[in-house]
Structure 1
Amino acid sequence: MSLQTAHSPARRATEQLMQVRGLTMSYGSGAAENKILQDLDLDVRAGEFVSIVGPSGVGKTTLLRCLSGLLAPKAGTISVGGQQITGPHPDLAVVFQDYSRSLLPWMSTRENVAFPLQGKGMGKAERNALADRNLAAVGLAGQGDKYPWEMSGGMQQRVAIARALAYNAKVLLMDEPFASVDAQTRFDLEDLVIDLHTNLGVTVILVTHDIDEALYLADKVVVIAEKPATVVDVIETNFGEVRDQVETKADPRFAEARARILHRLRDH
């Protein structure tokens, strides 16, 4: 299935795409100030799949919202393609954890996917055709006339992913997108995202507290911990383009990396 995309397939990315320097975020001020992130640095190459893992409540979603431009940090810089991010940006698309609230229930799945494309000046026929192609890419061919409430949770999340892909952004940001589905559906969605990443070459940044998920999906795992949170480790997975839920997780390197992450989190 052919998709409109500006990306070329690659897991062996080399070109620097996103750079984060000294990212600091807090809420409140004075004695009531709650520091969330402190002097956090991050580098992401074009076409790379990066997982950001850390314990619940450490600030992963806050970090992702800063990266997306939805939340302005107190200090530090975020740039994509050399351009500093100061607000929502056309090169960034977000898939939220709460897919049921991110989809508009009065719109069909096709309309939900096509809706953000209105801002790109596309005609209705072009928007709908692009929506149908991206629905097919996530395994929902022929489902464009259904409404979100007629679909399972896993299917709704596929619609949310199709919407992000149709926007054709350079970076796909995912906020624990599989946390609300059952285990088998989670595995299916993980494999779907791997296939999409490999076939389209889109850059993906995923935040999760699931260590196995972080390792299985990513080229690089960034571990954040401490209060306020900062990067405490970076692990290159080197599992190759082809991943398998059983074989990859049985790889001795997988167990070694998991133990390394657990130690980092326990020590901080």
Structure 2
Amino acid sequence: MKISSSLIIPFIRFFSNAKIMEIAINTGFLKRKRDILPDTIVKVFIFGLINTPNPSLKQIASKCEKIQPGLRITKNAIYNRLPAISGFLQHIFMDTMKITLQKAVPTKTAEILSQFKDVKICDSTKISLPDKLADIWPGLGGRNAKSALKIQGIYSLISSSFSSLELTRAPGSDTTYTKKLLSMMNKGELLIVDLGYFSKTFFENLSKKGDFYLSRIRSNTAVYLEKAGEMKQVDLSEILTGHNFVDTTVFIGVGYKKTAGVSFGCYSSAR
């Protein structure tokens, strides 16, 4: 895998040696003078091992020695420092996400989102693990890795920080996480999710709680408009035809089963 300079340059500009040292001290990674420098850990684990998905401790130690001239470190020393390295890199990751999202959200968009008490983005990603962990973290079966896990992350745009990072089982859809996600929402907040979390019941419960949500719509979802006190099923594409922007309230269901009680704003840009 090639690393784009557009990824590396902003990272280097923000994470100077002084900044990396500050994070290392605050996280407890650097409590005393160590042979291995914090910036060596950053270079190895973030960029140096990008083409080695399952590196051995010996490979990690060797890579550290190549990056830091004069360093001599054993695989056992790397193993003993893994907990501290993990906490240190977690803070590096969170700071990276913070500056990335701050630049990604335009000022005008930020002003619109400020009407909510908080704006939370929830998403997940799957990570393959060594086969020996299959008893603890079972994989997806078939030709997939025998062991895997899923990370569920919730990011707050208002506080520019993660409100939750949780390791969960890889098998199963993201809708299995919606019950816990609902418990982490407070009244007046906006939740942004992808189709993996799409659930009429989940959205209905969010509305009852006084929350708002933003999601794409499944292709098999029936859409209804209320006309003269009656629900009429409509083709969403017909509502959008001839309009650059549409903001209307509709009711949704799955398949052809008529449902009511869930409404949302429908927004689309004409193509």
TM-score (norm 2): 0.27
Q: If the length of structure 1 is used for normalisation, what is the TM-score?
A: 0.27
